Structure 1
């Protein structure tokens, strides 16, 4: 979904870990395209009729919220939510890194967007697919959990920075996917991938995030709003959407998703009626210094 790590050393490390996991789990040799995660943290690939995902974390850093997301989703989420089943896991350490291999069912149809989460074309999906997505998110919303995907402390700190408005108190919390975008959705029929982030989010967050990632495809964006109007057009849903937009603006400030920066900013200004603070451009890198 994302670009490989910048250095060949990191690419080799992750490829070696993936091959090692496939060998240990007695799988068919990896084949087909590589699917890299954010900043090369994960590498996934087909192994026969299974899907093998390997995630890594430096030993000197805590594993955090994302580390056990896939396994807790398998254990705690209803099977009625369309997603690949987790079949096996493997953990080990090597060379200053902790690794986890997650073996899952292979979803036989492709994701709706390749190359990243931003939708770059219109997608024509039947009403049945949208109904499946709505039903899945409604079921998910009612799942009890202590996993916190979005925190009030983040809102308190970052709403003034990225939205230019005072923080709001979130009172309507639901359980959500927390990374709902087009590179994590397949179909029809629906299958939702990548459950490492799931947990408590503000109502409207998942729908708001999917809508924001759709803004470069206006017809699809309009279909998202139609499908989730019952959430997004409520006071709590608008707060959830603003949280999603603020998080994306934070990502933009770090040099990513520049292709949707203006559309996200325009959406925030439409909701708040205020001008969004424009961050200063990053300084020019020093030349001639390693």
Structure 2
């Protein structure tokens, strides 16, 4: 993607590529069926996210200001400073993944995210399917079970609680509130 301006107009060019593989999930990002994905697929996802994290950018997929202004509102906890940021996909869910083989789709929102945000989103979108949610947590425990990873997961939960509060993903709302309460120890009302 390339952004530029000239003569008072802003322009954006995006390069697209046809991917002849179906997304794992159709009909939205909330997981509706468990997947029996092979270990190599999970390893490829780890490698893809690690490679993405090495990209240097000023693009923001998650804005610091949003975090500062909304953690208390959606999680009922004092806002905290996100200490570790990385480059991420910014919208990681099952409708943006293929496999096997793994291809990550829908990159228009990529940029800087809190460490753990992408995996926190994928885990949150899996909460309606406990077996897959547990697999996500197992495969990415090295991220999610760290202070930085927990912070990123909390930001992901807060964003999805905002969406649920606007009527999006009603089947996920109670799961999000329970997960947020589990991480914070603070009751989170179901939107």
Superposition RMSD in Å: 1.7
* TM-score normalised by L of structure 2: 0.92
Match of 2:122 among 185, 196, 210: 210
Structure 2 residue ranges without an equivalent (≥5):
3-9
Q: CA deviation at 1:171?
A: 1.2
Q: Secondary structure at the match of 1:188?
A: coil
Deviations 1:131-177 (A, max 9, x none): 00000101111211000111221111111111000001011000000
Q: CA deviation at 1:254?
A: 0.6
Specify the alignment match of 2:25 in structure 1. 113
Give the structure with the higher percent strand: 1
Q: How does 1:45-60 map to 2 (within 5 A)?
A: none
Matched, 1:198 2:110: yes
C-alpha contact (below 8 Å) 1:119/1:213 kept by paired residues: yes
Match of 2:167 among 255, 266, 279: 255
The structure, 1 or 2, with the larger RCO (C-alpha pairs under 8 Å, 6+ apart) is 2
C-alpha contact (below 8 Å) 1:161/1:277 kept by paired residues: no
Tell me the number of residue pairs that the alignment of Structure 1 and Structure 2 aligns. 184
Q: CA deviation at 1:100?
A: 7.7
Specify the alignment match of 2:89 in structure 1. 177
CA distance in 2, matches of 1:112, 1:206: 17
The structure with the larger Rg is: 1
CA distance in 1, matches of 2:46, 2:92: 12
Give the structure with the higher percent helix: 2
Q: How does 1:118-157 map to 2 (within 5 A)?
A: 118-157=30-69
Structure 1 residue ranges without an equivalent (≥5):
1-70, 73-97, 280-290
Specify the alignment match of 1:160 in structure 2. 72
Q: Secondary structure at the match of 1:147?
A: coil
* TM-score normalised by L of structure 1: 0.61
Matched, 1:222 2:134: yes
Q: CA deviation at 1:278?
A: 4.7
Q: Which runs of 4+ in 1 moved over 2 A?
A: 98-106
